[in-house]
Chain A
Amino acid sequence: MSRITSTILIAMLFISLATTAQNNTDNNSGINAAETLLSSGSKLSIGGYAQIDYNQPFVEGTQQNSTLDIHRLVLLFGYRFNEKTSFVSEIELEHVEEVYVEQAFLNHEFLPWLNLRGGLMLVPMGIQNEYHEPPTFNGVERTNLDSKIVPTTWREIGLGFAGRFDAAALKYQLYVMNGFNGYDGAGKFRGSDGFRRGRQKGAESFMSSPTVAARVDYYGISGLKLGASTYLGKSQSSLYDGLEKDNNAALAQADSSVISIAMVGLDARYRAGGFEARGQFNLASVSNTDEYNDFTGADLGSQMLGWYLEAGYDVFHGLQNDQRLVPFVRYERYNTHAKTAGSLAKNKAFDRTDVTVGAGWWLASGAVLKADYQFFDTAAGSAGGQLNLGIGIWF
């Protein structure tokens, strides 16, 4: 509770500072504080997004309660120091009670194609890790590929470059970042959701070896955006801390507590007229999983693979208003045990297929009501289904 109070206090402080700054230069009494903040001349930006969900699972032969949750409420504060230098932060309240910082980075533009960026940043992998505001995607919940293989919202502290080339319709990001916590007295990775529990999120994170994340986007074809991402590096282990350099036994043990990750991603988004489609492919090759699983007792796969394809059509297309009504269908396959190493048998329940059918009604470009039904299937048999209703906003 005290953390929430502090968050609100920080927000109020930001507002009061900005209002004071504005009042010094602007005596227009017809504008209220919020309008002053949001006016174009303001150096401070306030924004946010939220996702409020109703989930009703259906499992054959059993009764299930539904859940209602303010899944996430994120407040954005951005400050522009001058034409070149800006700071962006996002404070997230997840499930009402948990407070996280989702992004907090400083950006300095040398040239449009060369920006230096440092702080807590999103790992640029796939579509939804970077563009996760609910009005930017179909379906109440994020895709499961972007949870089980790409662990959204995946962010770590790092430093790097980003920029765009207008003539070539290209933009890039290249960061050196901290990696997953794979071991801190106990193993963090597991077969069902891969690296998800290893995210350090910039919270007193520790590093034994840095990782590299890179992405290129191409948007030179009308209506189409293509992306290619990669992530390379080892997981982090607390066993390296204080390790004596000539202690080979301890070094071997520490080496068994880390894995190497090489993840690639390809994605595409297309929109023409009322038609929209998107798709994503991710492949993660993981080495040293045999030793890691032996050492920690985990069941981490040595290869994770997944993809999805989605298509929708805006029925309100062509009408002269902001509203959109988009029925859609998505087919998604993801397997966190695409390959396993050593004696670990593949768990067929991790070879999953989801079909999602639903619709979103955009009341405005930043406000959407969503409804969908998901059919869950695995190589080991059906895993039931789920009805989802949601409210998504972004401002």
Chain B
Amino acid sequence: MLRFLIFVCLITVAGVNDPAADFYPQGKAIGYLQKNLKAKKVEVSNRFDLTDQVKDGRKTVVYRFSCDSNPDAVFAVFTESKGRYDMFDYLVITSESGQIQSVHVLKYRSEHGGEIASKKWLSQFEAYSGGKLIYGEDISAISGATRSAMSITRDIPELIQLLQQALVKK
């Protein structure tokens, strides 16, 4: 019921074309946001689309989430990167200043490379707030998922830079 309300809230507040597409699979993403905000009832206040600015036009949509009990809001970035043959969808949760709090793979499609969805591996991006990230150095290599791991390591700095630029403008 709560999820349904949030979903309705999303459509009305954000007025987006197809929020369901950004939120696939919805329950999973909202669960992560509730955990980051340490609250059951979360509200979405605005949405902006960075797709046009992202290299290769990878779909990238940002939502601002907040809750009554926690003064700090978070930004939820729904985006995608290229694996070996398929795109994979993931969620980057940042603080209001654009520092990463957590990264979650929402949908990994290929038969190989799903190793990057490992919570432990993704935790390496936590607290990142800008600067170079070198695969195999700052972010550990992961056998069998090299292409996906390299993609996400390359795409996250670009994403955070664009997000921070967008926040400054606002």
Binding site for B on A (CB under 8 A): 40, 45, 47, 76, 78, 80, 83, 86, 88, 107, 112, 117, 131, 136, 162, 164, 166-167, 169, 171, 217, 219-220, 222-223, 225, 269, 271-274, 276, 317-318, 365
Residues of A within 8 A of B108 (CB): 112
The reply to whether the CB of B136 lies closer than 8 angstroms to some CB of chain A is yes
Q: Chain A's nearest CB lies how many Å from the CB of B36?
A: 17
Q: A169 vs B145: C-alpha distance in the bound complex, in angstroms?
A: 13
Q: Are A225 and B144 in contact (CB under 8 A)?
A: yes
Q: Which 6 A-B pairs have the closest CB atoms?
A: A45-B85, A271-B141, A269-B143, A225-B143, A222-B140, A169-B118
- Fill in one digit per residue for B72-101: 1 if any A CB lies within 8 Å of its CB, else 0: 000000001010111100000000000000
The reply to whether the CB of B114 lies closer than 8 angstroms to some CB of chain A is yes
Q: Chain A's nearest CB lies how many Å from the CB of B68?
A: 30
The reply to whether the CB of B169 lies closer than 8 angstroms to some CB of chain A is no
Q: Are A80 and B86 in contact (CB under 8 A)?
A: yes
Q: Chain A's nearest CB lies how many Å from the CB of B144?
A: 6
Residues facing A in B132-169 (CB within 8 A) are 134, 136-137, 140-144, 146-147, 150
5 chain-A/chain-B pairs, Cβ below 8 angstroms: A86-B111, A117-B111, A136-B146, A271-B140, A318-B134
Q: Which of A40, A88, A107, A164 has the most CB of B within 10 A?
A: A40
Q: A120 vs B157: C-alpha distance in the bound complex, in angstroms?
A: 40
Contact of A219 among B82, B115, B147 (CB under 8 A): B115
Q: A86 vs B114: C-alpha distance in the bound complex, in angstroms?
A: 15
Given the known interface contacts A47-B84, A365-B146, A365-B147, the answer about A223 and B114 at a Cβ–Cβ threshold of 8 Å is: no
Q: A166 vs B142: C-alpha distance in the bound complex, in angstroms?
A: 14
Q: Chain B's nearest CB lies how many Å from the CB of A297?
A: 42
**Identity of the chain A residue whose Cβ is nearest the Cβ of B132 in the assembled complex:** A320
Given the known interface contacts A169-B120, A273-B137, the answer about A78 and B85 at a Cβ–Cβ threshold of 8 Å is: yes
